[in-house]
Structure 1
Amino acid sequence: MIADQLILDKKTKKASYSEDRKSERPIRSVAKAFSWRVIGTLDTLLISYLLTGKISIAASIASIDFVTKMILYFFHERFWNLIKWGR
């Protein structure tokens, strides 16, 4: 139940926000960004290929998408680590 989880979360909560904030390091954000971008890029590659019918154009689109979205995701993830809400 949700109520049980809320009670358990309060009991297992770390001592302070600064300790919690340190629990997720930037390298973890990089790993998460990379793994998600592999999945996202395969999706972009497939959709681009279906729309264009050319693998070279699809690969170009997917390559640019991979780099830009990974960078955006990293900064998005780091920004959310600064927000205390929901922890």
Structure 2
Amino acid sequence: MHNQDLLPIRPEEFPPEKCVRKVRATLYLPADLLDEARNAAFHLAGPPARMTLTKLAEAAFRQELERLKQAYNGGRDFPPRTEQLRGGRPLAA
């Protein structure tokens, strides 16, 4: 992905209807990626960004979900799941 493919999304610009109750999620990330994200959140914690690791992750998820909706679902939200996600390797094509 190229930098020009990324949309400039800032957490304070989220529509109010998207800011709902937060829940805890556990996921695994490459150690270097998480370390870089923690460094960014640490250095941007004060004004004007007031960044947190949660805000950074939320912005990244929203940006990538918008890209995926445009690329694979005509810009529409994906339909609700009918079952829980399963761990392990992704399904083969």
- Tell me whether the two structures share a fold, i.e. TM-score over 0.5: no
Larger Rg: 1
Structure holding more helix per residue: 1
TM-score by length of structure 1 reads 0.32
TM-score by length of structure 2 reads 0.30
Higher relative contact order (CA 8 A, sep 6+): 1
